[in-house]
């Protein structure tokens, strides 16, 4: 009881220190498997616990008016994991995307759901669930949830480069017309992804793991690393991350 009261007071104190709210946050949800191991659970249970924490996180972002959230849920490197674990993750993703269709919160708050990544690497049933969720929310524009699955930042840039080279070959562009702004349109045109303001990584890892390298690293976004595994990530941790972003905005204004 005392601890809960302390956390409530501390949470209010942190909120008061947040003077600026980011428009786009990107989250590397790390630690589901280590959380499961620490609790004597199987890996799938850790991933399910992480999915429940994601639900909480999305409520926190909506309450603060953060319009764009990008979740790094499954990288291209994750495909090399044990086949049973990969299949379990795909089943979990399918379930979550399928829920979008009937989730009243999605429709009440006009949340557009989109996938970022290489769909060709996913099984047919998952691709169909993703397409159905995207279709059901394609007209919404109040909030945007971008889910990165089978995603690799370098691969994304390589695909954009290939597209531009093909358009140069066809005469659509002159090589002198290729600029950072043009490259960015090819990276983000299908997903309405603006530059990232804040990257959050859980699980006590201090790297961004090839996540949105152009939109995050290229735009020098604020980064917040924290120790809790993703299923243990609290609103207090979230507010600490937002405080880091807010402090950076204040410091930039001074300089």
Residues 27-57: tens digit of each pLDDT: 999 999 999 999 999 999 999 999 999 999 9
Share of the chain above pLDDT 90, in %: 63
DSSP 120: G
Q: Is 78 a catalytic residue?
A: yes
Active site residue 190: no
Give 3-state DSSP helix, strand, coil % of the chain, rounded to 5: 55, 15, 30
Q: Is residue 9 part of a domain?
A: no
Burial 43-73 (b: 16+ CB within 10 A, else e): bbbbbbbbbebbeebbebbbeeebbbbbbbb
Domain membership of residue 160 (yes or no) is no
Chain centre distance of CA 152: 13
17 within domain boundaries: no
So what's the pLDDT on residue 118?
A: 87
Q: Which residue do the tokens 């004597």 mark?
A: 40
Is position 159 within any domain? no
Catalytic residue among 78, 155, 210, 217: 78
- For 177-186, write each residue's pLDDT tens digit: 788 777 777 7
Q: How many domains does the chain have?
A: 1
Structural domain includes residue 120: yes
Global pTM?
0.87
Residue 165, in any domain of the structure: no
Can you give the CATH number for the domain in which 211 is found? 3.40.1180.10
pLDDT greater than 70 at residue 85: yes
**Alpha carbon distance 145, 179 (integer Å):** 28
Evaluate whether 69 touches 25 at the Cβ level (below 8 Å): yes
Q: Is residue 121 part of a domain?
A: yes
Considering 30, 103, 197, 237, which one is annotated as catalytic?
A: 30
Domain with 30, as residue range(s), is 23-153+194-254
The answer as to whether 162 is a domain residue is: no
């Amino acid at each position: 009881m005392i601890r809960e009261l302390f956390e409530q007071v501390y949470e209010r104190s942190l909120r008061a220190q947040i003077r600026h709210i980011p428009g786009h946050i990107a989250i590397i949800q790390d630690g589901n498997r280590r959380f499961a191991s620490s609790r004597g659970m199987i890996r799938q249970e850790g991933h399910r616990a992480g999915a429940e924490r994601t639900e909480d996180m999305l409520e926190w972002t909506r309450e603060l008016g953060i319009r764009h959230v990008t979740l790094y849920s499954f990288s291209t490197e994750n495909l090399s994991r044990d086949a049973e674990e990969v299949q379990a993750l795909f089943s979990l993703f399918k379930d979550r995307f399928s829920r979008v269709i009937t989730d009243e919160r999605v429709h009440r708050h006009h949340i557009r759901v989109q996938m970022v990544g290489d769909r060709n690497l996913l099984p047919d049933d998952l691709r169909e669930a993703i397409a159905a969720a995207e279709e059901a929310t394609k007209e919404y524009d109040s909030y945007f949830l971008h889910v990165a699955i089978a995603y690799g930042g370098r691969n994304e840039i390589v695909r954009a480069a290939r597209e531009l080279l093909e358009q140069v070959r066809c005469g659509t562009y002159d090589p002198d017309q290729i600029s950072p702004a043009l490259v960015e349109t090819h990276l983000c045109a299908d997903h309405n992804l603006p530059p990232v303001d804040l990257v959050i990584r859980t699980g006590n890892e201090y790297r961004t793991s090839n996540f949105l390298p152009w939109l995050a690293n290229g735009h020098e976004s604020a980064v917040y690393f924290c120790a809790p595994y993703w299923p243990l990530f609290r609103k207090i941790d979230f507010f600490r991350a937002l405080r880091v972003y807010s402090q950076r905005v204040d410091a930039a204004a001074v300089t």
